[in-house]
Amino acid sequence: MGICAHNEESSIGSVISNVLQQPLPTGSALKEVIVVASGCTDRTDDIVRALSRDNDKVRLISQPTKQGKASAINLILKEAKGHTIVLTDADVFPGKGSLVHLIEPFRDEQVGAVGGRPIPMDDPDDFWGFLAHLVWARMQNDLLSWETSQGIFFQLSGYLCAIRAGLIDAIPLQVIADDKYIGQAVRRLGYQVLYVPEAEVYLRGPRSIGDFFTQRVRVLTGHLQVKNWFRLDTISTSSPTRTLEALARNVDLAKPKEIGWASLAALLESIAHLMAWYRFSTGKVPYNWRPVPTTKPTLAYEA
């Protein structure tokens, strides 16, 4: 299990405890939990060290400076033992039993990677909560389920995914959408990449305009990067046509409030697409992106 962290003192302890308590498929065992703490200036490193003294499965790799998520993933790929590597973040929480669903498919030797399903913890009765649920719980599930039915799925979720060890040694340090890159690379090796919506992982969506654009523009820029690298025709979750079709399917037209909020969401998404296109075309690719504060969980942990 590999966990990427940057200044996550409020949640890292709870995330590690979550992972250690997860049930696993029969015949599987958790070998280690590697936490790559990248350029942390808070108590993240101290909390992980304290937990590693109590449980020898927990291991800290500390990077003195923040070098980007791809760098952290490369350390995990290099150091991890075992036949399956599960990747997650230090600010999200796998649902109970999710690792069973995530790992079980690897009994098939043709399966190279498996992606889970993000579920927002936000209240859907305000705009930002509605937007998070619309994007993650409705539209993305709609699009990825369609990709699965067509046999073209490759869009792993960076919040929770697993890959067969030994398939990929490293990913480019400048990659933003590490999950999309890994999924496509595994497919190119001739392995199956599966979407398993039962492997749920809980997260918080952005709750301000600034944080929405920071997160969404970064994601869309990463999609353009992967699309260009692999010469793909489209990536469904960033295709204006596909996303608008999914939006129409997942908005309750009997609820005027949803129609209004969905219209605003479509406007924000359109602006984010233009901003991402500008960044990508001008080479302003934020591989070492800044944190998005309002997506951080408010859980506290005392070592």
Domains and their CATH numbers in the chain: 2-295 (3.90.550.10)
Q: Phi first, then psi: what are they for 194, rounded to 5°?
A: -115, 145
Query: What is the spatial distance between Cα 303 and Cα 229, in angstroms, rounded to a whole number?
Result: 43
Sign of CA dihedral 284, 216, 242, 115: positive
CB atoms within 10 A of CB 225: 22
Query: Tokens 């500390």, residue?
Result: 62
Tokens of 95: 């649902």
203: closest CA among 280, 273, 266, 292? 292
Q: Tell me the pLDDT tens digit for each residue of 261-298.
A: 999 999 999 999 999 999 999 988 877 778 899 999 86
Whether pLDDT at 303 is above 60:
no
pTM, two decimals, is: 0.93
Helix (H, G, I), strand (E, B) or coil at 58: strand
Give the pLDDT of residue 182.
Answer: 98
Taking the C-alpha atoms of residue 131 and residue 120, their distance in angstroms, rounded to an integer, is 10
> What pLDDT is attached to residue 298?
66
State residue 218's pLDDT score.
93
Q: Give the chain's mean pLDDT.
A: 93
Confidence label for 139 from pLDDT (cuts 50, 70 and 90): very high
Mean predicted confidence (pLDDT) in 187-207: 97
Given a cut of 50, whether residue 235 has pLDDT beyond it is yes
Beta bridge mates, 164? 84
pLDDT digits (tens, 9 = 90+) for 34-69: 999 999 999 999 999 999 999 999 999 999 999 999
Q: What is the pLDDT of residues 78-99, one digit of tens each?
A: 999 889 999 999 999 999 999 9
Statement: residue 302 has pLDDT above 60: no
Average pLDDT, integer, range 185-210: 97
